[in-house]
Amino acid sequence: MNQRRRRIYEGKAKILYEGPEPGTVVVHFKDDATAYNAEKKAVIEGKGVLNNRISEFIFERLNDLGLPTHFVKRLNMREQLVREVEIIPLEVIVRNIAAGSMAKRLGIEEGTALPRSIIEFCYKNDELGDPLIAEEHITAFGWASPQEIDDIMAMTIRINDFMSGMFAAIGIKLVDFKIEFGRQYEGDLVRTVLADEISPDSCRLWDMKTNEKMDKDRFRRDLGGLVEAYQEVARRLGILNENDHGKPAKPTLVKS
C-alpha cells in the first residue's frame, strides 16, 4: 500500500503531495519549526501532529459556518486532504492586541489592547522577508483584484470574530494570527477560499489568566515547552484526551 506520491512542494513546516483525485492535494504537517524567515530552525517532535489536529478542528468549524475553505478532511495523524487552490501571495494578519512586529514597529507595549481589530497585509515572498504592504500595492501589482480584497476582508472579519469567541470560551486570548487565501477554480468560476493552516504556529495565544504564551513564540523566544503548550490548546479545545502527548505514535483521538 506504500504507493509513491508525487511531491508538489515542500515548505518550511509542510509538504504538499498530489491528492487521490484531480483538484485535491494532501498536506503533510512536519515537526520542523522555523522563525525569523528560517534563520532559526529546530525539529520539535509532536508539533506536526498537534497542528494537523488543531487546524482540522478550526477549519471544520469554519466550514460549518458556511465560510469557504480548502479543507476536506483529515486523513491521518499528520495529513489532511484539501482542495487544490492557487495561493494568493498575501499574508493576512489580524491583530487584537499589540505584539510582535507591530509592537516593535509602532513602539506600543506588547499586550496593549488595540482600539479595534486591525488587518494588515504582507507580500508573501521569503526572499524579501514578507514585507508589510498597503492595499494600493496589491491592486497596483495585480496580486489580488479589488473584489478578492473585499472577499478577503469580509471573511477575515468573520474568522476573527469566530476564533476570538472560540478561544475566549476556553480561557485563551487570541492576540493575533496570520491566514492565507487561495483561488479555487470550478469550471469557469473562481472563488476565494481560506487556505493554508490555522494553528499555534500561526496565531499568538495567551492564557487569559496568566498571559502565558501558548504559541510559536515559545520557540521564537526560547521559552521551551512548545509541545506542552500546543497540547494544552488541543486539550482545552476538547481534541486530545488528558493522557495524550502529541508524540507521533500515541495520541488517541476523542472523535474521528
Question: Residue numbers of the site for ligand UDP (CB under 6 A)?
Answer: 91, 93, 99-102, 130, 176-178, 202-204, 216
Residues 6+ apart with CB under 8 A from 168: 174, 208
Q: Which residue is nearest to ligand UDP (CB)?
A: 100
Q: Which is nearer to ligand UDP, 75 or 114 (CB)?
A: 114
> What does the block give as the cell for 22?
484531480
> What does the block give as the cell for 172?
485563551
Q: Which is nearer to ligand UDP, 148 or 176 (CB)?
A: 176
What's the closest the beta carbon of residue 100 comes to ligand UDP, in angstroms? 2
What's the closest the beta carbon of residue 52 comes to ligand UDP, in angstroms? 16
Q: Is residue 81 exposed (0-12), middle (13-18) or buried (19+ Cβ within 10 Å)?
A: middle
C-alpha torsion angle, residues 155, 68, 55, 1 (rounded to 10): -160
Q: Which is nearer to ligand UDP, 102 or 163 (CB)?
A: 102
> What does the block give as the cell for 215?
504559541
What's the closest the beta carbon of residue 129 comes to ligand UDP, in angstroms? 9
What's the closest the beta carbon of residue 48 comes to ligand UDP, in angstroms? 15
Amino acid identity, residue 1? M
Q: Which is nearer to ligand UDP, 13 or 240 (CB)?
A: 13
Q: Using the 8-state DSSP alphabet, how is residue 31 labeled?
A: S
